[in-house]
Amino acid sequence: MYEITQHLSNWEGSLCEKIAIADVYTRNPTAYKWKAFHRSIHLREAVFWRTHDLLTQAHTLFEAGHILGSRILIRSAIESIATLIYLNQLTEKVLVDKLNFHDFSDKTSRLLLGSRDKSTKHEAINIMSVLEQCEKRYPGITDV
């Protein structure tokens, strides 16, 4: 388990604490103007923070002998990572002209800002829908 502790510690040191618009501009001087591009970067970093936190707590629970709690947190981490896989799939579809950019923009809004309880104007995308899309690329992910 020492190796897992080391990986989580290394990962924590690489988490992005701030996203400056200038950083987005240096990635692409055209795309930085698009809110969807910016939302994608924020979503990616938020998911990395969430996944790291979930896995750190899952590891702590496992070491304390709380296996069920650990498994539940690992499931949440897998669902979080599935969100990134889905985002990558959407981005790829836009790049090969299989998805309209406005639809992509809507989906990034729903992924980042969506809620199930109508507390925001964006309806959340159901995680099972996300996992079904991930299943196409990573067979068995829904079984896990």
Using alpha carbons, select from 108, 37, 44 the residue that is nearest to residue 81: 44
Higher pLDDT, 42 or 49: 49
pLDDT at 138: 92
Least confident of 28-42, 56-70, 90-104: 28-42
68-104 pLDDT, tens digit each: 999 999 999 999 999 999 999 998 998 888 988 889 8
Q: Which long-range contacts (CB under 8 A, 24 or more apart) does 140-144 make?
A: 141/78, 141/82, 144/75, 144/78
Please report, for the chain, the start and end positions of each structural domain, with discontinuous segments joined by +.
Answer: 2-137
Higher pLDDT, 55 or 10: 55
